[in-house]
Every structure is written in structure tokens, then in C-alpha cells.
Chain A
């Protein structure tokens, strides 16, 4: 129930926030055109961003994959001799498992976004792109905060729990030497990177320590500052249903020598992790338009019922179903792109112009084509193909279809028990693993219709006044 309310509430807030545009459709159409242009110009925009950022004193480092990115950040932490790092919420660091890597190698990591603090303490994956712990009951948060010394007295008041986390993390912010943040947008025109947030933890991470590492996946570019402003408006409305978040910060290089705070060293790690291969795949590369607003999750009827955990990956909901198969392999993520009704709500909602259902169909098609490729054929795939060929023939020949149905019905009903078919032989146990088929009626609809024509039409019961 909470999940349904949460998703529908967010969708309503989003609609309300979008209505603040004089023409919401024009605004979204413009944001889609920006993302489409970014994709076409991606290599040149990356080069321009890199050039401008370096000219401002930023150290730009490219990473091919998760392991490389993790080692780069670990090396920076070791070089700076820090005992711990604090982190702003960043899905890309979840994708590469940065926390685990740093902790394993002796560098403590403190998440600073409240939702991430909770998921880190409980050892849970993110439930939602925007609210990673939005589902966690306050009782559970209270217990873990008490256990870890963040809270002194038990409470289920969300505000009291939040304030306890505030006090706990202020101490970390006050003494931190290295901060790690994600990037919402990188501006090619100026070499700036932008972070959008409400809590102020990212601003703390960008203000208090001497070293700042910003990690971005390579598609996070926008061509100009004007585009960044428009995308910020769109991102915030679609992400949290607000018109503006508490803070939108633009960083262009490290602090100047005479400034009292801010990072002396700024590193921007540009991560590929499979995206340049996705970019080469013209049919599916539109997923790189995604701006991680999470609006597709809030509108998805499947997500609204199951939440984030069953997806089993960092990225959940429709955007996760669309990107995970490309990151982790279509053959390893079958359930993701098949667990979709193809209702198209995500596509209609997406402010970046991603056509999720098209991608799901493409993945399904690729999976089948791979299974049917020479050398991969199994007995089951041959059987499926034969059944599909027979069905296809039958559907094109009316008489053959009727004949086929007449033959198949008694055959299926032979396998039924108590009105249900619970299994049939020849390897379709997978389908019956979690569902039953009701037994076929004795007659088809057409047969019943034919019989009805021969029956007398029942007269209205005149004794009942409400019967017309």
C-alpha cells in the first residue's frame, strides 16, 4: 500500500511541478532534443569537457571499467593518506561497488545521504533511485541506529531519526579530508560539473575536504550552460516533483589559492563500464539518454507493486530493465525485460526520450535469435520453433485453426485435474512452475454462440419491476 501511495503521490507531484511550465509538452520535447543531440555529439562533447575542465585545474581520469575506476579512487585516497571518505549519493558508485572496494582495502566509507546511510547500515541495496531507503520501516532504522551508536533512545519519529543522522555526520563533515560525489551533469562549454540535491551533504562534500573526487558515467554531458539549466528544471520536476531543489552547485575547477575552503584537488573520473560498446549499438543506445530521474519507476505498474529489491540490480524499474541487460548481458537478465506488460507508461513519462518498451522487445528478440542460432539449438528450442511454426500456419488458415483447436482441447483436458491443468509433458515445466492453466471448456465460443442461436430468447421477468 505504501509503495502504491508513494509512486502515485510522486507522479501527482511531478504533474503539478511540470504544470509550472507555460507549455509542459514543449519543455519536455526540448529536453528530449537536448539528450538526442548529446548522444549524436558524445565524443566531441567529452573532449570539449575534458579540455575545459583541465584548463580549470581539474584532473580528468578515464576508467574503462569498474575495477579500474575503483582502483583509481583507492589510489587517490592512499596518496592523500585519508582514513575515511564521505560520499554523496551516487548510483554510479553503487554500480561499480566502490564502497566494498575501499573498505576491503582499508579506507572507511561513510555514506552521507540519509537514505544511503540507512541502506549502508542495514546492508541493503537501493530500493529506489531517488529514495534508496524509502521503504524501510522507522522501527528498523531505530534499531540499527541504536546498535551503531547513532541514536541514544529508541524512536520511530522520522524527523528524530533524521536529526540523529545529522548529528552523527556533522562530525564526519567537520573533519573529513576527502569527499566523493556523483555528477548530475557535466557542461562541455565550461568544464563544470553540476550536482542537484536537497540534503546539503553534497555541498558539504564539495566544501569541507581538501580533496574531491567526482565520478560520472560518460553520457552525463550537456553541451551548454543554457542546456544545463533547462535540464536541471526538467530533472528536478521529474525526480522529486519539486520546482527546485535546495541546492544546485556548479563546480569549475579546484578552489582558488586564497579561498578558505573547497577542494585543493578536484578529480573527475569519467567511467565507461560498457557504455562505449552500448554506444556502438545504434538500435539500443538510446538508453544512454537516461538522466536518472526515476520518473519511469514511479509510473510503472510493476514497480509500484514489487518495489526495487526483486529486480536484483542497482538500477531498478524500467530504466534498470533497459540498462542492466546491456551492462550485464542479455542472457543474464532475461527476467528483467520479460517482466513487463509493455504498457508504455515509462516511455510516455521519460523526459529524456527513452523508448523502454522498444528496448525490451529488442532484447527479447535478441535472446531468441541467439537461442536459435546455429550451434545453440536445443531440443526445447526446436520444439518451441515447431509449435510456433504450426501455430503460425494455423492462424493464417482458418479451417486449420478450427481443426487444431478441436484436436488440442480434449488433449489438454485429458491432463486436467479438478478443473486445472498443472503440468504438461515435453518441457514446458518452466511455464507451469508458478502458474496453473484452467481446464478448457467443452465448447469453444463459436460453438456456444451457434447453439445459442437455436435456443429461444428468455423473456423478461415482468414480476420484477427493476428488470427492463
Chain B
């Protein structure tokens, strides 16, 4: 039935005389591509702050654990689901044991339903992010075996760890890399910008509709763009 429908529909569409599409105008320029590394970080931070997301700069992996501990304490986290025991070298299990937090990782699961149950039960999900985009304070996340989708959408808090050298000016920089190798296109790729939100009742805006209520992004600055003198966590946080 579908094949017959296909032939009928395409037949009708193809019966129309095709004109050569008009030449497109020049592609609009994007101002973000001219930002230097310092400005990219500032832009990312201000954009995500505007969405109530908090941005931290960790001097190194140990500093990232300290920042995670601060977030966990402030948010009262008791249980977390992480995409790995080590995310970009940050020891998530050590962070858990230091703070008396129950840590589960994706590798602990082989059963889909058990994993889903836990994703909806934990206080927070900790993931890596493959990219960050300064344009709008956006994370780019490729979903695959070690990065399941629910960790960044089901728990009420999402914490993402990303090396600062993964920060790019605009979406195009990211999309080119994600889809470059046609044999390695992920089943899903997602841009994440702030917590989930809605304005559906009387236009009143609030964060935390179905996905996370809060989002925290920790940049690992090691080998990065020279923010060693950062005042530490909370510096750029919006509360």
C-alpha cells in the first residue's frame, strides 16, 4: 500500500514542470566567528547564564571534583547517574565517595529497563559534552553506547563536563564534525541550551518542564585558554 502511495504522490509531484531554482543570495555572515578564545568563553558563559545555567572553569581534573562537590552540596544531591566513572579524566566515583553520594554509571547496566528506572530516580545526571558552542551557550552531545540519551534529560539536574578546547564559535563548526564521516553518524545528536522550560500557561516562563530544572557546565581549562586565575566555582553562576 505504501509503495503504491509513494508512486502516486511522487508521480503527482514529478508531473509538475521543474524550474531551475533561483541562485541563492550570499550566505549571511555570523559575527561569532570573529571572536577570540577569551571572548568565546565569555559569550558562552553570558548566554548560558541568561538561561539560568551555571558555568564553571576548573583549573584541572582535581579542581573539577571540588566544583562537583560544591554543586552536590548546594543542590543536596544524594544519588547520581554518570555516563562513565571517569569523564575527561574527572574521577566521578572519587567525587561520590568523598561526598557520600551514590554513584551509578552507564557501564553498570546491561538491562534497558533497569537503566531507565534509575535515570528517572536519581537526583542528577553527569555527562560529558562533545562540544560547546559560544553562539548561544549551547552544548553539543553525541549519543552512543557510553552516552545514553536519558542521562541528560530524565534527572532534575544535569551536570556536563567539557574540555575548553571543545568550545567553538557557531553550530556549523560542530555539525561539520558530527556528520563528516558518513559511517559514523550518530543515531542521535542534540544541542542543549539551558534547562528545559515552558511558557505554555499564560506566557509565564519557568525552568524545569519535563527535563532538567538546572544545568551546570564545567569547563576543564587544562591546556586551555589561560583562566588559571579564575576565582573558582560560582564566579559566573547565576542564582
Contact = CB atoms under 8 A, between A and B. Distances in A.
A256 interface: yes
Contact of A36 (B22, B143, B185): B22
A37 B187 contact: no
Interface in A202-246: 203-204, 206-208, 210, 218, 225-226, 229-230, 232-233, 240, 243-246
Interface in B188-239: 188-204, 206, 208-212
Contacts of A210: 112
Interface string A185-204: 00000101000001111011
Contact of B26 (A22, A26, A203): A26
A272 B199 CA distance: 32
A115 interface: yes
Contacts of B15: 280
A198 B190 CA distance: 13
Interface residues of A, number: 96
Contacts of B13: 42-43, 46, 218, 276, 279
Interface string A114-149: 110010000000000001111011100100000000
B149 interface: yes
A64 interface: yes
Given A174-B120, A218-B9, A138 B187 contact: no
B191 A208 contact: no
Given A162-B200, A246-B196, A207 B150 contact: yes
A458 to B, nearest CB: 54
A106 interface: no
A259 B143 contact: yes
Contacts of B22: 33, 36-37
A134 B2 contact: no
Interface in A241-262: 243-256, 258-262
B89 interface: no
Contacts of B6: 62
B28 A30 contact: yes
A78 B12 CA distance: 31
A210 B9 CA distance: 30
15 contacts: A2-B202, A30-B25, A33-B24, A62-B6, A64-B8, A137-B202, A192-B185, A198-B209, A200-B209, A201-B209, A226-B175, A246-B211, A253-B187, A256-B144, A262-B188
Given A200-B209, A262-B187, 10 more contacts: A22-B28, A64-B9, A158-B204, A162-B201, A173-B120, A240-B199, A247-B191, A247-B192, A252-B185, A259-B148
Interface of A: 2, 6, 9, 21-23, 26-27, 29-30, 33-34, 36-37, 40-43, 46-47, 56, 61-64, 68, 72, 112-115, 118, 131-134, 136-138, 141, 158-159, 161-163, 166, 169-170, 173-174, 190, 192, 198-201, 203-204, 206-208, 210, 218, 225-226, 229-230, 232-233, 240, 243-256, 258-262, 270, 272, 276-277, 279-280, 282
Interface of B: 1-3, 5-6, 8-10, 12-16, 18-22, 24-31, 47, 51, 106, 109, 112, 115-117, 119-120, 135-136, 138, 143-145, 148-150, 153-154, 171-172, 175, 178-179, 182, 185-204, 206, 208-212
Top 5 nearest A-B pairs (CB, nearest first) are A200-B211, A200-B196, A207-B149, A158-B201, A276-B12
